[in-house]
Structure 1
C-alpha cells in the first residue's frame, strides 16, 4: 500500500508538471499583474471594495474603488489611483485621500460619476466614525511641540522610546488623538499625551468605543477602554484588567461590546489575546474564549495579498472571527455556551476579510492555486466564488500547487511543511532546492499563492517551507520561544529539510540554499553559523546581535526580551551566545545580505555587522542596501526595488546552486 501511494503521487506529479508546462511561466515582475482586494462592503446587495496593484511603468502602487457585477467582473468607479479608504453613507460614497499634513474627502454620488471634493481637513486623518456626513469623529496625528524644534528639517530630536517606527519614520512626540467634526467646527476630545485607536460605533450611533494608550515607552501595556456618548460627549472608562491591551472593538445589536484582551505575561509576552464581551448595563465583562488555540486574526504571510482586519461579529449563535489554525485561516465561531469553537470554512480557502451577508458571509479569500477573490459562504456549508479578479490570469500561468510534507519534531509534535516542485519537473531528475523561512517568528506560512516561491519553482528550483516552533496556529505553548531561540526552532527546520529530501526524491541534498526575512533572516544568520550543509544563503532584513538590536530597533526593548528572556544589562553573556554574530567565525556558506536604509524594525547595522564579519573571515559575501525602503521591501516596496531584490536573490542562488 505504501508503494502504491508513492507511485500514485509520482504519477500525479508528472501529469501536473506536463499540464503546467503548457502554460506561461511566472516571471520576476509577475506580482505587478496581480490585484489585492480589501475593504469589502455591501449595501442593498451591491458589493464595493478597493483593488490595489503595482504599476511597474510608473514605479508606484495604484488603488481604486470598484463594484462587483453579477457576472463576476469588477467595474471601476474611480480613476484617481489613490483611493485608500471609503465609507458608504446614504446614497453617497465618501472617499478619502491622505496627504502629509491634510486629508481630502470626496463624495461619489450613486450615479457613480466623477467624485467631487467635499471636505478638506488640515489633519492626517486615520480612523473615521460617521454619525452623519456633517457630524463625525475622527483620529489624526498630533505631534507634541519640542523646544527649539522650529527647523526640524536640519536635525532630529529624540526624547522618548520608541523614537522611530518602521514605515512611519520619527515618531518622537507623535500621538494619535480624537477629534469631533460638527458642521465645520473641529474640537479636540482626547488627551494629547495619549494615543487613541479602535474607533467603533454602536448600531444606534449613540456610543463610540475606543482604546486609549498612555505613552510610557515600557514593555508592559496599560490600555484604557472608553465609551463616549456621541450626543453629550460624556466619556466613561471601563476597567477589565490591569497591564493589558485591547483590540477588535465592536458593538453587538444587543448593546454589548465585543473586544479582545491581551494580558501581559512575563512568561509568554507573545501569548494570544482572549475574546471578551462587556455588558454595558451592569459593567460585567465575560471571557468568551481564552484565545489559546484559535487566535483572533489571520497571521498567514504573503507577498501579494491585501485585506484589512475584519471586525468581530456576533449573532444569536455566537461570535465570529478569522483565525489561524495550523497553516490555514478559516472563519470560526465561538459558541456563547462552553467556549466551543467551530471551524466554518473549508481548508481549501484562507480568509482575509469577511462581512455578514444574507444567510452566510462574503469573504475575501485565496486558495493554493489562486490569489484573492470574493466568495460567498452559506451557513449550510456551500462555497461559491463570485469574482474573477485574479483567477483567469493565474489559470494561464505555471502555478505549482504546494504538496504537504509531514514530520515529527524532537518533542513528539507532528508538524507539516510544504514543497513546491519545479514547474517543469522531470521524473528521475534531481533539482536544487531553497528553504524559505518566514518572519515573525509568530507568523505562519500557508498554501496560498506566494510570488517569490512560485517564481523560483518556475526557474527550476524545489521550494520548501514550514512553520517551526514559535509560529502561530498551534496555540500559546507552541508559539512560546522565550529563551529557546536557535534551539527547538533550529532543530525543527533541520528535521524538516531532512524529511523533505527523503520524501520528495527529487531534491539534490548537495544543492540546497536557505533564505528568509526578519525572523527568517536572523535564523538564516544562525543556521550558517551552526551548519555547512547549505551551499548558499540569503539573509534578508535580519538581526545579527540581540545586544545591539535591543537598543536600535523600534520594538527592540520589548521584542528582544520576549524572545531572549534578558537584556544587555542583566544577561549580556546569554544574549551574546544567542546572537548569530557570535558564530560568524564558523561560517563557510557564501551569503548575500539584503537590507533597507529605513528599516527601523531590524535596523541596517544588524545586516552590516554580519556582512562585515563574514568579509573579515574571507567568506564570499555581498550586501545590497535599498535606499528609501523599510522592513516591508518584499511586500510593499517600490515595484522596481522589489524586482531588483528578487533578481539579486535568484542570481546568488544561480551562482552557487547550479
Structure 2
C-alpha cells in the first residue's frame, strides 16, 4: 500500500503546469468529412511549428467507432478541405505543394495522392463533388495581374497602392487584388478546369443540384457591391456555364450556407432580412425558397438564437459555416446555432417551421458533415477540459461519442483546474461566465483577479479550452470571462442592448461580474486587473476611464477612438450603420462612445 501511494505521488509530481509554449503541442482536428457509409471520418489536423512560426495541416482518417486513427498525408505543408467522393473510394483535398494551390485526389484503395488541376497561382476553396463523381465544383481566385513575384516565388510588396474602393483589405487576408473568386468545375479524370461565372464580383458558397445539372451560389452582382456587403443574392448557373439566373429572395445578408433539397426544387440558406442594423445585431436564421424565387419561408425563430458559430477561443476555430443539411425525405434540415456559451446542431421541421436542439447540453460544435443516409453526423467540437476533438452524433438515438483523443497525452500530463461555469445577475439581468482558478487552489487565500473581455462585440465566450486563460491562471490569478449584454448567444434583445452605445449596459454587466467574483471570498479586491482584445480592448479602455477599481489593465489590439476606427480599420466604415452615420455626420455619438474622450 505504501508503494502504491508513493507511485501515485510520483505520477502527480510529474504533471506539469500549462505553459504558453504548449501551443506547439496541441493537435487540433478540423474540417471533418464523413464517409457516405458513415463508418469513417477524414479530417485535417492542425499543429503549430515553433521554428517556422506557422501552422501546418495534414489529413487523418479514423473510424466512427473511435478506432484505427491513421495519418494520410505528411510533411510541412497545408493539406486541407478533404471531402469524400460519392462512391467513397477517393478523397479530394486542397494542397499548395509548390507555388499554386491545387485540387488533389487520394485513392483509398491504394496509390499516392496526385494533383488533379493545373491552375495558375491563386487560391482554391469550397470543393464539392458532383453527384455522379465526374466533376468537382470549386471557387478559384487567381492572383491579380498587377501582383509582382520575385525570383524566390514570393509576392513583392509594392511601393504604393492605388485604392479605389472603401473596402480594400481584410485583417488576416491582406490587401485585395484586382481579381475575384468565381465558380469553376474540374473534370475528375482529365483535370481540365472551366470557369462558369465571370464579372467583377465575388462568388460564395457554391453547391450542386441533386441531378448535377446546375449550381447555386451566393453573390451580389450590382454596382458598389464591395460597400453593399449585406445585400447578397442567390444565383443559379448550369453546370456548363450558361446564363446566370437570379433567385428572388428578401434583401439581406446570406453568408453562412446554401444547399438544395433532395428533389432539387428548394434552396435552404442562412441569413436574415434586416440589412445594415450593425454586425451581429439581428439573428441569422434558416430560410427556404423555391429555385424560382417563390414560397420563401423562415424556420427556427422559436429558439431566438443566431444561426452562426460565434464562440471565441484561441485554439477553437470561430466564424466557420456549414451549409444546411437536408434529411432524405426533404422535410427536415440540420443547421447550427450559438447559444448560452455553446454551439448546437438543431433540427428544423419544415412543416411547422420550428426547430429543436439535438446535441447534448454542453456541446460546442464547430463544423460537421453527414453520411449519405443522414443517420450520423461527425463534428469537431470543444470542451472546457481539453483541446478540441472529433465526435459523432447518432441522429436516431441522439447519442454522442468522442472518436479521437489527439490531446489526451497532453492533458494527462498537466495539472490545472478546469474552468467552472457560473451564473450571476446585474439587477434583474441574468448573466453567465466562467472562472478558472490557479492549480493547488486554496479558498482560504486571497488571489489577484483578471477579468478578460471578448471581442466582437456580438460574439460569445463559451465552453472551450481557452489556452490564454489557463496560462494566466497558472501564473497565480483567478481568471474570469463572461458574456455581457451585446454578446450573441442569448437572444436578439440581448445582442441589441448596446446598439449605437457600445459601452453600456456592457460595463455594468462586466462590473457585476467583478462584484460576483469578489463576493466569493478568495479574491483580493485591491489587486484587480482587466484585459481584452478588439472590442474587449475597447471595453478595457472604457472601464479604466470610468472606474478606479482596477490596479492594472492590458488593452490588446484595441479601439480607443471610434472615428479613427471608422477610417483606418479594415471594416470600420460599417459602423455608420450602428452609430447613425459617418463620424462627420454624427460627431457627438462617436465622441460620446469613444474611450479616448474620457482621458484626464
What is the deviation of 1:445? 0.7
Residue in 1 that maps onto 2:8: none
Residue in 1 that maps onto 2:153: none
Residues 1:388 and 2:405 are matched in the alignment? yes
Q: Aligned to 2:486, what secondary structure does the other structure show?
A: coil
C-alpha distance 459-152 of structure 1, shift in aligned 2 (>3 A): closer
Separation of aligned partners in 1, 2:45 and 2:569: 32
- The equivalences for 1:151-550 within 5 A come to 153-171=158-176, 173-181=178-186, 183=190, 186-214=193-221, 215-219=224-228, 221-231=230-240, 233-255=242-264, 256-265=266-275, 267=277, 270-280=281-291, 283-290=294-301, 293-306=304-317, 308-315=320-327, 316=329, 318-357=332-371, 359-378=375-394, 379-410=396-427, 412-480=428-496, 481-502=498-519, 504-550=520-566
C-alpha distance 229-116 of structure 1, shift in aligned 2 (>3 A): closer
Determine if contact 1:424/1:458 at 8 Å carries over to the other structure. Answer: no
Residue in 2 that maps onto 1:23: 15
What is the deviation of 1:102? 2.6
Q: Aligned to 1:194, what secondary structure does the other structure show?
A: coil
What is the deviation of 1:231? 4.4
More helix by share: 1
What is the deviation of 1:51? 0.2
Separation of aligned partners in 1, 2:74 and 2:443: 49
Separation of aligned partners in 1, 2:398 and 2:317: 25
TM-score calculated relative to the size of structure 1: 0.80
What is the deviation of 1:525? 1.0
Where in structure 1 are there 5+ consecutive unaligned residues? 1-18, 586-658
Where in structure 2 are there 5+ consecutive unaligned residues? 1-10, 149-155
Q: Aligned to 2:380, what secondary structure does the other structure show?
A: strand
Separation of aligned partners in 1, 2:247 and 2:290: 11
What is the deviation of 1:457? 1.4
Separation of aligned partners in 2, 1:280 and 1:217: 26
Residue in 2 that maps onto 1:88: 84
Separation of aligned partners in 1, 2:51 and 2:228: 43
Determine if contact 1:297/1:321 at 8 Å carries over to the other structure. Answer: no
Determine if contact 1:106/1:115 at 8 Å carries over to the other structure. Answer: yes
C-alpha distance 464-20 of structure 1, shift in aligned 2 (>3 A): farther
| Partner deviation per Cα, 1:280-316 (whole Å, 9 max, x = no partner) | 3773222223487221122111111248532211225
Determine if contact 2:256/2:322 at 8 Å carries over to the other structure. Answer: no
RMSD: 2.8
Determine if contact 1:220/1:264 at 8 Å carries over to the other structure. Answer: no
Separation of aligned partners in 2, 1:335 and 1:294: 16
C-alpha distance 469-384 of structure 1, shift in aligned 2 (>3 A): same
What is the deviation of 1:198? 0.7
C-alpha distance 22-298 of structure 1, shift in aligned 2 (>3 A): farther
Candidates 71, 85, 88, aligned match of 1:76: 71
Separation of aligned partners in 2, 1:83 and 1:524: 38
Q: Which moved more, 1:52-61 or 1:264-273?
A: 264-273
Residues 1:103 and 2:101 are matched in the alignment? yes
What is the deviation of 1:547? 0.8
**How many residue pairs were aligned?**
564
C-alpha distance 463-282 of structure 1, shift in aligned 2 (>3 A): closer
Q: Aligned to 2:511, what secondary structure does the other structure show?
A: helix
What is the deviation of 1:142? 4.8
Separation of aligned partners in 2, 1:95 and 1:244: 29
TM-score calculated relative to the size of structure 2: 0.87
Residue in 2 that maps onto 1:621: none
Q: Aligned to 2:513, what secondary structure does the other structure show?
A: helix
C-alpha distance 210-265 of structure 1, shift in aligned 2 (>3 A): closer
Residue in 1 that maps onto 2:44: 50
Q: Aligned to 1:154, what secondary structure does the other structure show?
A: coil
Separation of aligned partners in 1, 2:528 and 2:44: 40
